[in-house]
Amino acid sequence: MDGRRIDWLSRRKRDKTIVLFDMDGTLTEPRKEFSKKLLPVLNDLSEKALIGIVTGSDYDYLQEQMKTVLSSHIRYRLHLLPCNGTKHYRPPSSSDKDFELVHDKNMRDTLGDQDFHQLMRILLQTQGNLDLSEIPLTGHHIQYRGSMINWCPIGRNASSDDRKVFVDFNKKQSPTFRERIFGRLKEKLSLSQLSDKLEVKMGGDTSFDIFPKGWDKTYCLNHFQSFQSWFVGDRCEDGGNDKEIYDLLLKQNKAFKTKNPFQTELVIKEDIIPFL
């Protein structure tokens, strides 16, 4: 086999392999900006494979937290997959172009107005009945992202200090405050018969993601059906929003659980790059 044939096969493999990453807790600390310390290893990875960021957050949070990567030359090898990949932004083709939205699902259209409004009423009632006397309450509790709803009991306007107070408070409870709310919400959805249509997942450290069945992070694999896909995430336990895609790709030994961006760097260096 001559050198040109080997180079062609190498490029083809590189362009048909994608390594998917969760964002909060995996590439960044929750709701924090991406650390430049991780940029060299991502750059090395981009020489071997495409990169995808699949997150429950919407595009605006991706832009805010990952702006260092989005402005680097990695952007030409980077697929953005907000809202569990129900939105897909393709890499730009040149420096004067931006990421291109090529796929977008709508939760309200899928559920219908009646079920969508019922879900909103349940969330508002549940929020109003919570005892939040010991934790911060900051506003912007429900965010509709088109293909999912994010419900944050302390509010998405929470500062880093507010979030820390909540996380510390949550850890002291057994079962945790979030686990109790999770169970309460699922019970209400069951009584309203919406549980057959919706999934609830713990998003990040403070919130919950609610979306139609089948719209978990495995959804993003629809965009890469002929690819060899890998995944790295931190919320791989029951109820975590990385569990389904982690379990699916773990069967192929192509999924890794991480605890923080520092460990993610080690996973990339030791468990992924050597095998690409």
Per DSSP, the residues of 189-203 read: HHHTT-TTTEEEEEE
What's the token pair of residue 196? 């057959």
Partners of 90 in the β-ladder: 100
Q: Pick the catalytic residue: 2, 7, 15, 22?
A: 22
253: left (phi over 0), alpha (psi -120 to 50) or beta: left
| Site of tokens 């999770």 | 182
CA distances from 117 to 167, 198, 245 (A): 30, 14, 29
Per DSSP, the residues of 155-205 read: -TT--HHHHHHHHHHHHHSSS-HHHHHHHHHHHHHHHTT-TTTEEEEEETT
- Per DSSP bridges, beta strands 78-81 and 228-233 are unpaired
| Site of tokens 């139609």 | 212
Q: Calculate ∠ Cα 56-58-61, nearest 5°.
A: 105
Give the ranges where 39-130 is alpha helix by DSSP (H): 39-46, 59-65, 67-70, 107-111, 113-128
CB 258: neighbour CB atoms within 10 A? 22
Q: Pick the catalytic residue: 7, 24, 96, 109?
A: 24
User: Is 22 among the catalytic positions?
Assistant: yes
Length of the chain: 276
User: Is 44 among the catalytic positions?
Assistant: no
Q: Please list the active-site residues.
A: 22, 24
